[in-house]
Structure 1
Amino acid sequence: MANRISDIFASHFTSPASRLNLCLFAGVASLGTLILLRSTSGSLESDRPEIIPSPAQTILPCLSGEEKRALPYPPDALRGARDVDSPYGSVRLYEFGPEQGEKVLLIHGISTPSIALAGLAHQLVERGYRVMLFDLFGRGFSSGPDPSTHRYDSALYASEILLCIQSSPIPWTSFTLIGYSLGGAIAADFASYFPNLIKGLVLVAPGGLIRTKHITWKSKLLYSTGGLIPEFLIQRLVARRLWTGPETTRTIEPEPDGQASPLNDDEPKGGLRSRAVYITSHLGLLRDNPNSTASTVVDWQLLHHQGFVPAFISSIRYAPIHNQHHRWRIVAQNIEKGVGELKEVWLVLGDADPIIIAEELIEDAREVLGEKKLRVRIVKGAGHEVAIDRADEIVEVVDQALKEQA
């Protein structure tokens, strides 16, 4: 398998668009490439800086303007781009829309950066909203702390959100928070700690209450922190599972238990155990950029973002994905006590989602939030990619949520 991966990468590097990849070899090799090609055993831990740079520092300086525009994720992908410096690294952020509009902050999932929600952001702005979206640490054009010194946990992600909103030229003291997949888990967690900032909370196919019964022993072993598997080998295995190459259909939230394959009726569903192939792998993420799909963007991060795989692994280990009932109960308690403006929590779920099982999440969310504090929108025919290809449904939810808040 390692030889096959090497052959795929070798073919990729000799393609007509090879200049970008030659730039990689000429100066700054990405960790994503190294962990796929490196045949020697031995840890990379001592080679990594405390702050892992993003492609903005390692790759973009080598490219012409035309080459930058041809990337799956070009640096000018969305309006209002800025980079926010912090002790944890630099954060790429986009903020645009009417300054007087209702403010909406969007948080993306575990593997695709903020441009996965570009369609949703554009639709919100067209409705008059002011939007902000950013690349989580270790994704897209955000650098990030080395996971060996900083866990990708609730504290780190809450700090990133606060860094982003304080960087705005206008006050973000009351806003609607939309979180997708991992971003949904982060959004619910953040709302439990900072209720006075949250006016609306929309969780789209969110983590947080994923039942641990869906985690197989293979995933537990792969993402364990007990040192049973050397870290360099874990990184290599995870990268190999995430990578499929430009001609292969892939998942947007890849399955860490094995190679992705179509889900059949007999296959267990839920959480990390699912092995679904999502149709959005071939759908465009950016307007007027046919090269930008979930598949190409994830593969691009593997090739050119040194921190992507370490951030992915640390997020699986430490982010608030499972067993967050206590934090969600605090959200309910704050609503009950009138702390902040939030009055109800919205769930937007695809009825065909093999990752977040709608029936399970609704049952568990009702238990911790209560019937009166929970609103649910089931999107017929949608899978886990609901935030990408059914953005219009989410915009309707935001409209309704804010209308009922008034």
Structure 2
Amino acid sequence: MKLNHLSGALLLALAAAAAPHAAAAGDSQAALRAAIEATDAAARAARQAPSYQQDLFDIMFGLPFYEGLAYAKLPPGKAALRDYYVRKVSKQDLTQRMVPGMQAIVPPVLAAQVAASMREPAYRKRVRLQVAAKTGAGQAGEQLTPDELAILNRIDNAQSSKDFVALMPQLSELVRIQVSASREEIEIQLAREALEAIEHTQREIEKVSETGQPVAIRTIGVEPWDQIIRAIGDSTLGMALAFYRFNQELDRLDYHRQLKASGLVQRHHYSEASVLVDKAEDALAATLKDLDQVIKQREAGISQSEFAAQSKFRAKLDDATASLYTFAGDLGECYRSMFAAQRQMIAFLQERKGAARMEGETIVFDDDASAAAMNEIFKRIVTAAQQVQALVERQTARENAEMEKARSSLKKSG
């Protein structure tokens, strides 16, 4: 331990003076150790004293660090996050979190002197006026009196004030670190709440495929996050409704029953079947147009959030948008492949009208070549339908994996 302060040096001087001049070397060393231990004990006692803790609290609470954060003029997105933070973390709470760190910066004696100065009504009034000047708040025309100015002049010229000013860079760094840490805690909690809201909405949207009824998008009351939540929720809902309308149109057309090969063989309604395929393709085109519009609205909604200005978030946004466009494009191709195969089936059976008959559930041709060709067409129809299903499952798995990654990341952060 280096005894470089006055009280420590004085203790050692007194110990040396009290030691007999004829003392043995061992006795001298013992006295020295006792003096050092006494100094350590005194220092620990001073730092653990409630008065020292209160002095440190009063010093930090008297500084306008929190007011500068709370009243700074910020863009709407950043202001919303800041306002939420201020509602959740009071100046008292944040100041208390800084007291342990201040012990390594402001020693007890200096803390007592500075705290006494900062408790002066004139000092507190000056801080209040300084904050008001920056924020536009406060009582108009209020000024410091000559007596108050004299008190402040004495405080500013005191050695304790000069020593404290020399410590401001360290205190400023402490404030920065502590504010960042507490804001990160708030941001992680908000991210958890946002993820829960998104997951809740996703579960509700699963019902849309059966009901066709829109569901409410749950938000958390913090606009930068709510912009994200609404954009994701609205796009997912928009897609679900687009698919619902597409399937409803196919049901209205009685598409799947009318396009059965067995029905074509028995009823020979080839022209009507071709018209149905045309209508199904029109419904697909309308659905793809709806999907394109939904994706664009999703991107625009997310882009309005403050988070969109962050490079990592923007990269994820672009990746998700590209994935949705790819999904929509691939889905259209899969359905078109199925429609093309069904058109081929209609034309094939029409060309062989009368050459095909039903035996139970089986279509029978008189020649093996026709049977083989029909089986090949069936295979293409089935393959296209399987590709549609696989595409939907892959997209669902991708989105589930992203949600799980987000959950895991937040759990790790917590």
Q: Which of the five TM-score ranges fits, normalised by the shorter chain?
A: under 0.3
> TM-score by structure 2 length?
0.19
> TM-score by structure 1 length?
0.19
Structure number with greater CO (CA < 8 Å, separation at least 6) is 1
Q: Which has the larger radius of gyration?
A: 2
Structure number with higher helix proportion:
2
